[in-house]
Amino acid sequence: MGVSGVGKTTVGKVLAEKTKWPFLDGDDFHPPANIEKMKKGKALTDVDRMPWLQALNAKAKEERDQPVIIACSALKKKYRTVLADGLKNDVLFCWLHGDATTIRTRMQQRSHFMPVALLDSQFNSLERPENALELDIKKSPLQLVNTIINHMNQPEFGIAGMGVMGRSIARNFAGKGYKLALYNRHVKKLEEKVAQKTIAQYEELASCEGYDDVGKFVRSLKRPRKLLIMVEAGKAVDEMITALLPHLQKGDVIIDGGNSYYKDTERRITLCSKKGVHLLGCGISGGEKGARLGPAIMPGGAADAYELVRPYLESVAAKNHEGQPCCAYISTGGSGHYVKMIHNGIEYAEMQLIAEVYGILRHALDYKPDEIAAIFSKWNKKKNNSYLLEISSRILGTKIEGTWIIDKIHDSAGNKGTGGWTALDSIERGHAFSTSVAALFTRFLSADWKWRKTFSEQIKKKRIRKAHLDINELQDALYLSRLVNHHLGFELIHKTAIEMGWDINLSQLATIWTNGCIIRSGMMIRLMDALKRSPLVLFDSQLTAKISKQKKALVATVHAGMLAGVDVSVLSAAANYLNAVATYPGTTALIQAQRDFFGAHTFKWIDQPEGKSVHFSWEED
């Protein structure tokens, strides 16, 4: 590409000779009217150019099975958009540029329908391409062609951090045909040549290049450079960005694919933008297997930066039930990492709900682990089907050395921080994400296992009496609790999006979460349509048609758990939430009266809830 006279046809033909790829000269596709207009010294308009550009695009699409070389001025960004529309990701614009005097001299020495007089209009129309390979026409055509070929042989995507997730997603990318540069830091005697060893370990990475020198890693990549960071959230991300930035240039893109806190992401976006480098905060869910076979991907940041990496991310993402990638642009700033954080908050409660139902089945209803596994397997074919229920069934059906594995696992659950961030965020925003907070606190309590062990032995806990609970009631209770949990998670995202000025499509987000991620489920597929109708899940009558019946089942389930001495923190949180929102007026009037009594905090009269606050004189002076 470039203005008339820079040598597009000459360089294109030499490149075609070297590569044996077909060459198309854009001049051959101009309609006669365009050629006549230019011969008369009249510049083409956008209307004149559009059919010509579309014809070139159509011709390029006919060559899908092999690369094709096109010589075309492609002066404006919108022209280049038309030329590249619908083509594979590896579209490369090579911008031939030079000074006007040299180009004018060349034009005077050739025979062409484009007169020298139109050169100024070409320069006036030219919009400098942001992500093209820049080629100085002072060099010979052969030198320019060698530069192009060398560039095309460079890795097109980089991944930094060869931990479990990093190497898994690298294998995913490589399996899709991408040539990668892989990097891992060098720590003497601890981490040496990790990227190179990773490449040697997996056959699909054979064409990748490995580095433990960050400068060489960055310089190996095609521009604009696209780098995915897969390191632990926090200090490690800052250290990685600090190491990368001195070697990056304007227009390059860093993707943080870890579980970073969204406020850290926004700080890092500002830092990188000072050098003209884009940073995308990208939530990635699915664990090791998801990273390898197809995760759910939630990118947030600048929309134009996302467009540079969109084809890559979409190609490695999981596919939903309609065959669409579980990847879509979320919104600006730290929105991608924010929704991943809430995803994990929903996940915490989903896991705890299944654990509580397991506890009731085992300790209140006296089922054995394999029998519970069979129940979960059956439920997984119905309304409660989910990835977490599926793996829970497999866990409970597993034995080692003749003993159920569940009985050999120490009773203490860990957490990595995202659940705490979700809880703090809900508190800061005044949102009652009670299911997630209850699940988090249950994990905290489980970690204090020595005290629990001592206390349980001290009181010699016994079941009050055997519960009388139908299995179908338990199934309904699980479904309704999950519905409440999802409602609270999506409601928090909706409120935050309004506060932050993010344009988040909740239905699209649910679509991303239908496969690849940890909370994928049949319910999530149903939420796709429900969230088109309302941002509040419980407002959708199609989902909540049986809520009265299911609430009775939930209350009975909580009761059964309590009688059996089983922790039902999240089940009861869901039931209490429904009690609170389904009762108006409730009991909080007394709390506000108490606050006014001891602290003169004021209150509002029930018939004027949006009126003036008043203080009542509760005691005589």
- Catalytic positions are 340, 347
Cα distance between residue 387 and residue 518, in whole Å: 7
Q: SS3 for 584?
A: coil
Residue pair 396/358 in contact by the 8 Å Cβ criterion: yes
Q: SS3 for 98?
A: coil
Token code pair at residue 190:
């601890």
Cα distance between residue 59 and residue 248, in whole Å: 35
Q: SS3 for 110?
A: coil
Token code pair at residue 155:
């890795």
Supply φ then ψ for residue 465, to 5 degrees. Answer: -165, 160
Helix (H) or strand (E) holding 119: helix 119-125
Residue pair 136/98 in contact by the 8 Å Cβ criterion: yes
Query: How far does Cα 603 stand from its chain's mean position?
Result: 44
Place of tokens 């409970």: 396
Q: SS3 for 299?
A: strand
**Does 224 sit behind a cis peptide bond, omega within 30 degrees of 0 on the bond before it?**
yes
Cα distance between residue 418 and residue 426, in whole Å: 12
CB neighbours of residue 600 within 10 Å: 11
Q: Could you tell me which of 312, 308, 254, 258 has the C-alpha nearest to residue 283?
A: 258
Helix (H) or strand (E) holding 281: strand 278-285
Q: Are strands 278-285 and 253-256 parallel, antiparallel or unpaired?
A: parallel
Cα distance between residue 173 and residue 209, in whole Å: 13
**Which DSSP letter does residue 130 get?**
S
CB neighbours of residue 214 within 10 Å: 18
Question: Residue 314 class from Cβ within 10 Å (0-12 exposed, 13-18 middle, 19+ buried)?
Answer: middle
Helix (H) or strand (E) holding 292: helix 287-293
**Does 585 sit behind a cis peptide bond, omega within 30 degrees of 0 on the bond before it?**
yes
Cα distance between residue 354 and residue 394, in whole Å: 13
Cα distance between residue 553 and residue 556, in whole Å: 5
Question: Residue 2 class from Cβ within 10 Å (0-12 exposed, 13-18 middle, 19+ buried)?
Answer: buried
Residue 285 bridge partners (DSSP): 296
Cα distance between residue 69 and residue 80, in whole Å: 14
Cα distance between residue 164 and residue 184, in whole Å: 12
Cα distance between residue 571 and residue 557, in whole Å: 8
Token code pair at residue 546:
């049986």
